[in-house]
Chain A
């Protein structure tokens, strides 16, 4: 519809409608503001990643050159090769995957199991346990960090030695402490996961489960055959979250692996390697660093390459899972009522 066709008296109203919108649709101004906001915030979110990526490809001249702020003049892949050597990347990646995957699987299964128990059954003491669950979410984790550390290091081995007559070390650079805590529902932010599952299972109509009981399914069969398939959305969200949390955790991982553990003797994670990047770089390139001080020194580009590499698996996973994730967020009742 062209503006010429509109009678003169109505033109003003029409323009007003186009610019300021009506009840059914946004005006041009509002649309502009909305997209401006969206693109600005998207840029803010992407900025660090883009910065990191472009920096990681620069050579030393570009780093010092103020004019080459975004686009490197030559693409330097050697940053990545030296970062891979520094972090012992492929080895560390496999070890990290072992830790993250095993704890995530245990955590998701146990949290779903416990959350279902909270949502489905009424039993005496439920209120008390719910209170403890919420308290364990609110209390800072370092409140219980020292007693737990002593528990792993002294109490449990002593218990096994005195009562069962077995030699048992928990903290020996294996996945033992991760799996034990995850199976007992005390992994990273387990209480949050349990609450997500609790909210989700509460919304599943009871009649479905009752119908299965009438058909002769037991309680545990009803859980596996009805509740689990129905809660796929929550499972996707919790799996992604747990994996990310385990991947990014540093302090607890360091405690669980023990202070004497290195990547040669036991497990390690990429984030731990990233934390001591500077030391290991100097160790790997020790001879070069001494003989030719200027050419082989650690620079920002190599650090950024290391950072990029350590989050690359997460980015790849997110890229493949994002559709399921975004859809699951729509379905999973994270908030409850």
Chain B
């Protein structure tokens, strides 16, 4: 409403013949009303955001800078926090690599398993979401079962179950898989057996992804599928030409979500290392060490996220760009 009024008044300004007096052309009251309205909108915007802004300032922004700052100092917590300068500003970061001797291998295996798991989770959840979205019998029953992981797949329940060996597929553990993979070289067969061993866990971790895909698929209008059917496309072609392009931005969203969820879930080995380094007594390593470790880890996650983003982002269409430029020129 407000923008429309502004546009109208702008048009009036443009069409008025007397240029020097154009400020006087708009009635004074009217101008005043527009700015007041705008001010009210700004004010209400901040009223609605206020609780979150206070919270995010106290518990996120300040804490983040504190943690970054402390990671360059020697920190002692006694009657408040005291910081002492280090010999070199980067000493904490160096000591992470010297004290944590197996860190490179742990980080490497973590990154590889993340990169292996990501496409599997995305593909599985897309397939499941498409199955749940298609015409099947007992759809609500299947949906109820398939959303079950969202309810119980987190926390100590899962670690209890993995300790029991429920995480592996029962058919896989009795050697039939290893005989199948016998012909492959070791560097290939080992990750694959690993993958099959944690297949249930991977599937169990993809509850939210299925949800996101499903609600995305439900927005695709059926007319598009009907049109393609009339044009004689089969299911395979429909998937590649209609479903996938529409779902592509959701794949990006889901990949980012999956990376973040896997990287920040409490049961990954690096987070366990960080917790152990930060909280175990005696404080040989201390808070500052844990924070330096954390920032190294955060940097790695950021690199992976940027990589995923560049891989999956929408390629900018040349025609669209050209048209946008034309519009701007006009």
Residues on A facing B (Cβ under 8 Å):
23-24, 34-35, 37-38, 41-42, 44-49, 51-52, 55, 110, 113-114, 116-118, 120-124, 126, 129, 132-133, 136-148, 150-151, 154-155, 158, 181, 183-186, 190, 194, 210, 219, 223, 241, 244-245, 247-251, 271, 274-275, 300, 303-304, 307, 310-311, 314-315, 318, 322-323, 325-326, 329-330, 332-337
Give which listed residue, B51, B157, B203, contacts A114 with CB less than 8 A. B51
Given known contacts A41-B146, A158-B80, A318-B151, is B156 in contact with A274 (CB within 8 Å)?
yes
16 contacts between A and B (CB under 8 A): A38-B136, A45-B145, A45-B146, A48-B204, A51-B161, A121-B44, A140-B294, A144-B60, A144-B63, A146-B278, A181-B55, A181-B59, A251-B275, A310-B157, A333-B219, A334-B211
Q: Is the CB of A23 within 8 A of B232?
A: yes
| B interface, over-half SS | helix
* Contact indicator per residue, chain B 198-232, by CB within 8 Å of chain A (1) or not (0): 01100110000001101110110000000001001
Question: 7 closest Cβ contacts across the A-B interface?
Answer: A117-B48, A184-B55, A121-B45, A248-B155, A185-B52, A123-B45, A147-B63
Give which listed residue, A23, A42, A337, contacts B229 with CB less than 8 A. A23
Given known contacts A41-B128, A123-B46, A146-B287, is B264 in contact with A311 (CB within 8 Å)?
no
Q: Is the CB of B81 within 8 A of A144?
A: no
Q: Is the CB of B49 within 8 A of A122?
A: no
Q: Is the CB of B212 within 8 A of A147?
A: no
Q: Is the CB of A139 within 8 A of B1?
A: no
Complex interface: chain A residues within 8 A of B154 (CB): 244-245, 248-249
Q: Is the CB of B136 within 8 A of A34?
A: yes
Given known contacts A42-B142, A314-B152, is B298 in contact with A143 (CB within 8 Å)?
yes
Closest Cβ of chain B to A59, distance in Å, is 17
Q: Is the CB of B160 within 8 A of A114?
A: no
Closest Cβ of chain A to B199, distance in Å, is 8
Q: Is the CB of A34 within 8 A of B147?
A: no
* Contact indicator per residue, chain B 256-287, by CB within 8 Å of chain A (1) or not (0): 10001001101000010011001000000001
Q: Is the CB of A38 within 8 A of B48?
A: no
Give which listed residue, A51, A121, A147, A250, contacts B66 with CB less than 8 A. A147
Q: Which of B120-179 contact A (CB under 8 A)?
A: 127-128, 131, 134, 136, 140, 142-152, 154-157, 160-161, 164, 166, 169
Of chain B, the residue at the smallest CB distance from A117 is B48
How many inter-chain residue pairs (CB < 8 Å) link A and B? 242
| B114 adjacent to chain A (CB < 8 Å) | no
| B53 adjacent to chain A (CB < 8 Å) | yes
Measured CA separation A46–B11 after assembly (Å): 64
Complex interface: chain A residues within 8 A of B136 (CB): 34-35, 38
Q: Is the CB of A51 within 8 A of B164?
A: yes
Query: How many B residues face the partner with a CB closer than 8 A?
Result: 92
* Best-surrounded residue of B127, B145, B154, B203 (most CB of chain A within 10 A): B145
* Contact indicator per residue, chain B 36-79, by CB within 8 Å of chain A (1) or not (0): 00001110111111011111101111111011001000000100
Complex interface: chain B residues within 8 A of A336 (CB): 253
Given known contacts A49-B148, A143-B294, A248-B157, is B51 in contact with A110 (CB within 8 Å)?
yes
Of chain A, the residue at the smallest CB distance from B200 is A44
Q: Is the CB of B63 within 8 A of A151?
A: yes
Q: Is the CB of B51 within 8 A of A143?
A: no
Complex interface: chain A residues within 8 A of B298 (CB): 139-140, 143
* Best-surrounded residue of B52, B61, B134, B229 (most CB of chain A within 10 A): B52
Q: Is the CB of B81 within 8 A of A150?
A: yes
Complex interface: chain B residues within 8 A of A120 (CB): 45, 48
Q: Is the CB of B253 within 8 A of A335?
A: yes
Closest Cβ of chain B to A299, distance in Å, is 12
Q: Is the CB of A185 within 8 A of B161?
A: no
Give which listed residue, A46, A55, A146, contacts B67 with CB less than 8 A. A146
Measured CA separation A183–B62 after assembly (Å): 18
Q: Is the CB of B157 within 8 A of A311?
A: yes
| A interface, over-half SS | helix
* Best-surrounded residue of B146, B152, B166, B298 (most CB of chain A within 10 A): B152
Of chain B, the residue at the smallest CB distance from A323 is B140
Given known contacts A23-B229, A184-B58, is B160 in contact with A307 (CB within 8 Å)?
yes
Q: Is the CB of B263 within 8 A of A307?
A: no
Measured CA separation A60–B216 after assembly (Å): 48
Q: Is the CB of B1 within 8 A of A210?
A: yes
* Best-surrounded residue of B169, B260, B263, B305 (most CB of chain A within 10 A): B260
Give which listed residue, A44, A46, A244, A275, contacts B150 with CB less than 8 A. A244
Give which listed residue, A37, A123, A133, A244, contacts B151 with CB less than 8 A. A244
Complex interface: chain A residues within 8 A of B234 (CB): 23
| B196 adjacent to chain A (CB < 8 Å) | no
Give which listed residue, A116, A122, A186, A337, contacts B59 with CB less than 8 A. A186
Q: Is the CB of A138 within 8 A of B160?
A: no
Complex interface: chain A residues within 8 A of B40 (CB): 219
* Contact indicator per residue, chain B 17-53, by CB within 8 Å of chain A (1) or not (0): 0000000000000000000000011101111110111
| B90 adjacent to chain A (CB < 8 Å) | no
Of chain B, the residue at the smallest CB distance from A35 is B136
Of chain A, the residue at the smallest CB distance from B43 is A123
Complex interface: chain B residues within 8 A of A147 (CB): 62-64, 66-67, 70
| B250 adjacent to chain A (CB < 8 Å) | yes
Of chain A, the residue at the smallest CB distance from B124 is A41
Given known contacts A150-B81, A249-B155, is B145 in contact with A46 (CB within 8 Å)?
yes
Q: Is the CB of B62 within 8 A of A47?
A: no
| B110 adjacent to chain A (CB < 8 Å) | no
Complex interface: chain A residues within 8 A of B61 (CB): 132
Measured CA separation A312–B140 after assembly (Å): 21
Give me 12 other A-B pairs in contact (C-beta within 8 A), A45-B146, A51-B164, A140-B294 excluded. A34-B134, A45-B203, A47-B200, A117-B48, A137-B260, A143-B64, A144-B59, A183-B51, A184-B58, A186-B58, A248-B152, A335-B216
Closest Cβ of chain A to B314, distance in Å, is 12
Q: Which of B1-16 contact A (CB under 8 A)?
A: 1
Give which listed residue, A138, A183, A307, A337, contacts B260 with CB less than 8 A. A138
